[in-house]
């Protein structure tokens, strides 16, 4: 790397052209022009070469991110698994807490933190690596304040769940469990921005190792506190808190110790131009939350059906399995977001476009694979989550819907990652609002309650909304002018990152 600095001026880190995301070593010299971008791919041979180059680049970033996210999701899942073997009510209570209250806050916090993917990714591509630490600190501040705003949801979880129609025994236990998760909420304010900071620079191996260690420790804590100490769901919540904060502290320790290019200490610049950053964070949060809360709402609606314990429990198990597959595509989401943001910052429109097309195509094929797998094991996979025969049968009956949902969820998160990398959050938020809440949710209610199709009807309506959203996003992607996106990159960084992107700020 070359370091360009002047007295009183910014310390700009510019990546040398011997280490761009596209290099001659990646393939045929004829594929890449003098600016480091692809030439137009013509003919099957060139398309194939671009496909394999982009596949290698995508999975070089995706692999560690997927491990990280799967391990992060694993802390949710194994908590459900341990609770499921305590009893059906405990399974439903913990599932409601994690699937409704915690997912509500998790989605909002992740969305707020996703603004960092746009800014850090494009700043890194443009050579303004020194700003990444400032952006991360700004996000820490915003997300910490967001945690305080979300606190009433945790404190009043029991009455909120009862108001939403949950049974008293489930709502009471779920509310007690949720109160104990407040420390975990505040860990997200540190965890998410730090992850985005590292992802933007493709420093993802440390995230994978942190995730693996955290998951192993979490399983050990669950066994110790639930079975050895006999603390039940209270032990599960405490284990969740400890694991979440352990991961957050480990990531910050790595940033301070080993990320000297992007981290230059605490800076007053984090408090400047903060409102523009808040607007981008809110747009990101709304976009993502409309997606996360949409699937969460089916759990709430199921709580009003007859035999709510079985309905909620079976859906929670299906959502849990779906969540594992979804986390894979959330990993691809993060990777393609980094790829698009970096390439736009580098002013490589074709590289951004080709990376997107390869990611979407491969994700669709993976979704088909998982659908086939879930249908082949529909009478067996639920045994992992519950010992109840009634619950196992209910889950098996929903396997076909789960398989189809997996196909849809293979493409949609990837396109959302493109939106984050390109800064299209507001547009996608409007699309999500219309497809999910104006079309899909009312249709699910109509099929589930009016047509008396129960859980299957609810899920059919939700799938229809997701399918419509995916089709619209594919059309938007097809019509995107990538040259125009490159031209808008600098304006976005100035608008959302603040005017201090080109000035040196004093460190605290």
Does residue 15 lie in a domain region?
A: no
Does residue 107 lie in a domain region?
A: yes
> Where residue 22 falls among pLDDT bands split at 50, 70, 90?
very low
Tens of pLDDT along 222-279?
999 998 999 999 999 999 999 999 999 999 999 999 998 889 889 888 888 788 778 8
Q: Identify which has the larger pLDDT, 384 or 211.
A: 211
Q: Identify which has the larger pLDDT, 283 or 26.
A: 283
What is the pTM for the complete model shown?
Answer: 0.74
pLDDT score, position 250? 96
Q: How many domains does the chain have?
A: 1
Does residue 36 lie in a domain region?
A: no
What mean pLDDT is predicted for residues 159-171? 87
pLDDT score, position 492? 64
- How far apart, in whole angstroms, are the C-alpha atoms of residue 393 and residue 409? 24
pLDDT score, position 2? 39
Q: Are 412 and 363 in contact (CB under 8 A)?
A: no
- How far apart, in whole angstroms, are the C-alpha atoms of residue 485 and residue 487? 5
Tens of pLDDT along 458-508?
889 989 998 998 899 888 888 888 888 887 766 666 665 554 444 444 444
Does residue 22 lie in a domain region?
A: no
- How far apart, in whole angstroms, are the C-alpha atoms of residue 209 and residue 215? 10
What mean pLDDT is predicted for residues 127-141? 88
Tell me the percentage of the chain whose pLDDT exceeds 70.
89
Looking at 33-128, list the stretches that DSSP marks H as alpha helix, in order from N- to C-terminal side.
44-84, 88-96, 103-125
- 278: Cα separation from own chain's centroid: 19
> Where residue 12 falls among pLDDT bands split at 50, 70, 90?
very low
Q: Where in the sequence is the domain holding 370, given as residue range(s)?
A: 44-499
- How far apart, in whole angstroms, are the C-alpha atoms of residue 83 and residue 414? 32
Does residue 505 lie in a domain region?
A: no
Does residue 4 lie in a domain region?
A: no
Residue 433: its H or E element:
none
Does residue 21 lie in a domain region?
A: no
Q: Are 116 and 259 in contact (CB under 8 A)?
A: no
Tens of pLDDT along 55-94?
988 898 888 988 888 888 788 889 988 988 888 788 888 9
Does residue 35 lie in a domain region?
A: no
Q: Which of 41-45, 115-119, 120-124, 359-363 has the highest mean pLDDT?
A: 359-363
């Amino acid at each position: 790397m070359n370091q360009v600095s002047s007295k009183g001026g910014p310390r700009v880190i510019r990546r040398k052209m011997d280490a761009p995301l596209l290099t001659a070593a990646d393939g045929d010299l004829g594929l890449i022009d003098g600016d480091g971008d692809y030439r137009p791919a013509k003919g099957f041979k060139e398309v194939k070469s671009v496909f394999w180059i982009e596949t290698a680049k995508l999975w070089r970033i995706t692999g560690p991110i997927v491990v990280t996210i799967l391990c992060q999701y694993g802390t949710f899942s194994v908590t459900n698994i341990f609770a499921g073997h305590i009893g059906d009510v405990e399974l439903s209570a913990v599932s409601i807490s994690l699937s409704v209250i915690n997912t509500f806050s998790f989605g909002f916090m992740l969305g707020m933190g996703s603004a960092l993917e746009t800014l850090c990714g494009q700043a890194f591509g443009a050579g303004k690596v020194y700003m990444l630490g400032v952006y991360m600190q700004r996000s820490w501040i915003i997300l910490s304040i967001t945690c305080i705003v979300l606190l009433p949801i945790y404190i009043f979880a029991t009455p909120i769940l009862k108001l939403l129609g949950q049974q008293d025994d489930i709502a009471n236990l779920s509310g007690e469990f949720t109160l104990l998760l407040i420390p975990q909420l505040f860990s997200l304010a540190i965890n998410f921005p730090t992850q985005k900071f590292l992802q933007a620079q493709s420093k993802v191996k440390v995230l994978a190792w942190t995730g693996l260690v955290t998951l192993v420790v979490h399983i050990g804590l669950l066994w110790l506190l639930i079975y050895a100490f006999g603390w039940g769901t209270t032990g599960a919540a405490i284990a969740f808190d400890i694991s979440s904060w352990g991961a957050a502290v480990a990531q910050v320790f790595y940033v301070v110790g080993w990320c000297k290019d992007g981290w230059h200490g605490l800076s007053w610049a984090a408090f400047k131009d903060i409102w523009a950053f808040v607007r981008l964070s809110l747009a990101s949060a709304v976009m993502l939350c409309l997606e996360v809360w949409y699937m969460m709402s089916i759990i709430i609606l199921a709580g009003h059906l007859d035999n709510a314990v079985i309905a909620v429990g079976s859906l929670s198990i299906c959502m849990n399995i779906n969540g594992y597959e979804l986390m894979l595509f959330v990993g691809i989401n993060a990777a393609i977001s980094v790829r698009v943001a970096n390439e736009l910052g580098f002013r490589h429109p074709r590289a951004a476009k080709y990376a997107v097309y390869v990611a979407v195509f491969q994700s669709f094929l993976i979704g088909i694979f998982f659908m086939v797998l879930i249908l082949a094991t529909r009478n067996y996979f639920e045994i992992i989550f519950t010992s109840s025969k009634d619950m196992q049968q209910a889950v098996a009956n929903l396997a076909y819907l789960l398989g189809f949902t997996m196909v849809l969820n293979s493409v949609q998160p990837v396109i959302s990652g493109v939106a984050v990398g390109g800064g299209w959050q507001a547009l996608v938020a409007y699309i999500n609002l219309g497809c999910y809440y104006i079309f899909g949710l009312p249709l699910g209610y109509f099929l589930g309650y009016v047509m008396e199709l129960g859980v299957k009807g609810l899920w059919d309506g939700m799938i229809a909304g997701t399918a419509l959203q995916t089709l619209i996003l594919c059309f938007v992607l097809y019509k995107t002018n990538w040259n125009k996106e490159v031209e808008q990159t600098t304006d976005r960084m100035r608008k959302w990152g603040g005017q201090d992107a080109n000035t040196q700020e004093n460190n605290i």
